[in-house]
Amino acid sequence: MRSWFDPFRWRAATLAVSVVLLLQGCGAGDSSPAEPSPLQAAIAPSSNTTTTSPANSTSRRLLEKPLAPDRVISGPGQLVSATLINTVAAADIAAAVQGHDKMPSALPVYAVTSYRLTYVTQDGYGNDIVASGLVSVPVKEPGSPSPVLSYQHATIFKDAQAPSNNVVAAEPTVILASLGFIVLAADYVGFGASKAGQHPYLLSAPTAAAVTDLLTAARTWRHNASVIDNGQLFLVGYSEGGYATMAAHRALQATNSSHLRQLVSSIPGAGPYHVGVTLDMQLKRVRDENVLIAGLISPGFLRYLGSTIRNEVRRLIMRLVIPDDADVTFQSTFLDNFLADNDAAIERDSNVHDWKPEAPVRMFHGRDDQTVPYVASTRTLQAMQARGAGNTVTLTDCVATPASHLGCVAPYFSHALAQMAPWVRDL
């Protein structure tokens, strides 16, 4: 099965992908006289990435103290419930990652306690709904603050894979929290508590809302539970998670959210920020595999297709995206706009590449990516710099061999941690 974002294979490579190169710079040689601390290992600069734009010249952002929770009585951002899921011991996290030869023998610093939050957000049709997400907290000394890391997961096709339904030692949320972060992870609409609805795939507004409304609900929860953050916020995610990260950052800035004042940086990886060019590539794949209709379908001509051919193209592209055994429903608005040649709707509803960020954006992508084309990131870099972003936005190349979509997941985590290292505190 070929997935658009291939992340259904994410679970098969969870340890190698989500963890292994969290600590890529740690050095795994047998001759090492002493283990580096897990933190040192995690944030060591990666040796297998190279930047394609000038080094960051943005000075360290001034960070505020933690903010009091927003008074959300009802509507988006309202905290509905919080339920304790489990506590995973640091030793169990270490055991979960020890089977891989690229892993250091001691990664975790803290045990991790996780909670399932339900909160109000909006679906792909603008309706208020109750969604769910995960908050994983490092077990530190009472009163110890932690930075907040909002982790946006890649495309999944099973509800059981949603963050709040899959809280085990080898998952990225738990591992990142064991390093000292308060980790938030939205299940996304269509998963978890909102499984009865459709997942608003590649629709920017509800995608961003699932993330930003969880930020608000989690701030309320932290206040109620006396869990202290240090005033720092980071946004990270790969593939669809990279798209969600970019969409959330843009939404925080567009609404002048209070969360924006604490955002240190966003670090999106290999996301289809320019949905139009990503779909053009998927259409090419359909043409290559279906020679009988290849001559009939091309960008700029789709609107003239008969309903029979258009429905077949729609089916073929959706087959590239969603496996047959998926147990969740994907909203097809993004694809319907594309098949109607409605560029204005794609720009309005889906694209997140053309704006000027105020806080640093540190993109990451592989040139050999056949799932999300590298050009989706280069177009984003060009558009942002054309708006005057300068070095506030950068693009780092993955130099894995091959630098494919799946092959660059692990280097992405190394990149993300290296990017956070100069700024993060209280781990």
Structure tokens at 362: 């540190």
Task: Provide the residue type at 16 as one letter.
Answer: A
Please report the beta strands in 143-240, taking only residues with DSSP state E, as ranges in sequence order.
146-152, 182-186, 198-199, 229-238
Structure tokens at 292: 């009988």
pLDDT recorded at residue 305:
64
* Angle of CA points 63, 118, 72, to nearest 5°: 55
Q: What is the arithmetic mean of pLDDT over 234-247?
A: 98
The predicted model scores a pTM of: 0.83
pLDDT recorded at residue 318:
73
Say yes or no to pLDDT of 157 above 60.
yes
CA distance 151 to 103: 21
Please report the beta strands in 123-273, taking only residues with DSSP state E, as ranges in sequence order.
128-138, 146-152, 182-186, 198-199, 229-238, 263-269
Say yes or no to pLDDT of 289 above 90.
no
Query: Which CATH code, of 3.40.50.1820, 3.40.50.920, 3.40.50.2000, 3.10.450.50, is assigned to 7-274+351-420?
Result: 3.40.50.1820
**345 or 100: whose pLDDT is higher?**
345
- Where does CATH 3.40.50.1820 sit in the chain? 7-274+351-420
173, exposed or middle or buried, with CB in 10 Å at 0-12, 13-18, 19+? buried
**290 or 412: whose pLDDT is higher?**
412
Q: What is the arithmetic mean of pLDDT over 279-302?
A: 64
pLDDT recorded at residue 299:
56
CA distance 181 to 246: 20
Q: What is the arithmetic mean of pLDDT over 65-94?
A: 86
**230 or 281: whose pLDDT is higher?**
230
CA distance 399 to 166: 31
Least confident span in 252-261, 285-294, 325-334, 369-378: 285-294
Q: How far is CA 217 from CA 127, 211, 213, 222, in A?
A: 18, 10, 6, 9
Structure tokens at 108: 């975790």
Strand, coil or helix: what is 383? helix
pLDDT recorded at residue 114:
98
pLDDT recorded at residue 64:
54
CA distance 412 to 408: 6
Q: Which residues contact 12 (CB under 8 A, 6 or more apart)?
A: none
Q: What is the arithmetic mean of pLDDT over 255-273?
A: 96
Q: Which residues contact 288 (CB under 8 A, 6 or more apart)?
A: 294
CA distance 379 to 385: 10
Peptide bond into 138 cis (omega under 30): no
Say yes or no to pLDDT of 295 above 90.
no
Inter-residue contact 276 to 338 (CB < 8 Å): yes
pLDDT recorded at residue 324:
79
How does 199-211 read in b/e, with b if 16+ C-beta sit within 10 Å? bbbbbbbbbbbbb
Most confident of 143-157, 305-319, 323-337: 143-157
